[in-house]
Structure 1
Amino acid sequence: MKALVLGATGAVGRHIVESLIDNHEIQEIHVFVRRQVTYTSPKVTVHIVNFDEPREWAHLVTGDILFSAMGTNRKQAGSKEAQWTVDYTYQYEMARIAAQNGVKKYGLVSSLGANPKSKFFYLSMKGQLEDVILELPFEAIVIARPATLIREEPKLVERISCAVFGVINKARVLMSQEPVKTADVAKVLVTATMGQQYGISIIENETIHERAGYFKA
């Protein structure tokens, strides 16, 4: 099986690549990035592309399954418009081209609370992206909606969020909003998308935790 990955150098994306490397069903992994990145696995092929010029790389987007985990924040991007370009335009264009080129399965890292009608820019953007993705002719689509991500080197806001929810969830409340490890999001998304034969699955944050084995009886 040949897998494609968009956002391979990001917090969740690099764990998606690791999960695919370890998966015996995957023979080839093609990552699409803006700058050079090195992998030790012979499975991985790196494509350095200009995402603003899809005609230059569209012919490379062929395979069995596409995972999309590209994202930024407004501070890094510099503006809402720039963030929209990365989080929405680039991801949608890759998905559209993949579907057009016959890729059958698609896995997307979205966000808890994604809703096209949300008053919050980020959640509205994520919801709008989900809506247009669901219109594409993939045979199987899986969307993961994690809450705050726990990275290996968490940012200050993430450390605070984790600490707060750690206290609250001693009573097992608000589990649907509890922060989740990036590696677990990747593992759950890869497993679900590879196992999904047809149709659409939305994996909410609480389910990500459950499938990652966080809440064992």
Structure 2
Amino acid sequence: MKILLLGGTGLIGKQVLLSLVFYPQIKKVIVWARNSPSSSNPNVPIEVVQVRFEDFKVGKVSIPEGIDAVFCCLGTTINKAGSQEKFKEIDYEYPLLAAKQAKEKKIPGFYIITAMGSDPNSSIFYNRVKGEIETELRKLQFPFLGIFRPSLLIGEREEVRVGEKVGEFLGHLIPFGLLGLKKYKPIPGEYVAKSMIYSLLHDKPEPGVAPIVKIYENDVLWEIGKDHSF
């Protein structure tokens, strides 16, 4: 099984690469990134292709043949992007371009990280953009579309995200499970990465069956992420 990973230098993308040692079914990973990822895995062949998504946008690069699934871990914040327009380019335009090309290549599975609260009708710009990309991906009718909606992420990043640091602090301070708020508990990026791989290995569309869209909410990501036995 060969996957294409978009966003291999981010929190979840790096965790995908680190987690592959547990899953011998995955034989090769092609990583598209602006810079070489710091994470690697001696047990799985990893090919890093330095891609500027501006080039992808104008057709200078394309998804290779023989890919079984695309993992889209692209994502930023409005502060880091610098504007709402740039944020939407990274979190909406690029994933949609990749998805359309993957559909043309007849790749059976597309797996994307969005966010808890994704809603195309949301008054919150961030949640609205995440909901809009989910809506557009549904229209492409992949045999399998996996949507992963984590709460605030916990883990080491190259840049500091204040909101996530606050979420990490609250995650240690507040007993979310005891309060019935497990769905909202900040989650390690590792758990989200493992949930994506779990879905790849277990959510198998049947030939001739209608396209499947499966949404993994935060509480389910927690349950899968804690289980290393699958």
TM beyond 0.5: yes
- Shift in CA distance, 112/35, structure 1 to aligned 2, threshold 3 Å: same
SS at match of 1:200: strand
- Shift in CA distance, 21/133, structure 1 to aligned 2, threshold 3 Å: farther
| 1: CA distance, partners of 2:175 / 2:221 | 19
Answering whether residue 185 of structure 2 is matched by residue 182 of structure 1, we say no
Answering whether residue 35 of structure 2 is matched by residue 35 of structure 1, we say yes
- Shift in CA distance, 29/78, structure 1 to aligned 2, threshold 3 Å: same
Identity %: 26
Partner of 1:109: 113
| 1: CA distance, partners of 2:46 / 2:15 | 13
SS at match of 1:212: helix
Residue 40 of structure 1 and its aligned partner are, at CA, apart by: 5.4
Asked whether the 8 Å contact 1:63–1:102 carries over to 2, the reply is no
Partner of 1:48: 50
| 2: CA distance, partners of 1:36 / 1:150 | 22
Partner of 1:206: 219
With structure 1 as the length reference, what TM-score do the two structures score? 0.90
SS at match of 2:190: helix
Partner of 2:10: 10
Cα distance per residue 1:27-74 (max 9 Å; x no partner): 111011112346453610111122122211115365001100101111
Query: Aligned Cα RMSD in Å?
Result: 2.0
With structure 2 as the length reference, what TM-score do the two structures score? 0.85
Q: How many residues align?
A: 214
| 1: CA distance, partners of 2:21 / 2:140 | 27
Note the 1:142-157 alignment, pairs <5 A.
142-152=146-156, 155-157=161-163
SS at match of 2:9: coil
- Shift in CA distance, 155/73, structure 1 to aligned 2, threshold 3 Å: closer
| 1: CA distance, partners of 2:168 / 2:96 | 31
Asked whether the 8 Å contact 2:9–2:36 carries over to 1, the reply is no
Partner of 2:61: 57
SS at match of 2:32: strand
- Shift in CA distance, 187/59, structure 1 to aligned 2, threshold 3 Å: closer
Stretches of structure 1 lacking an aligned partner (at least 5 in a row) = none
| 1: CA distance, partners of 2:162 / 2:82 | 20
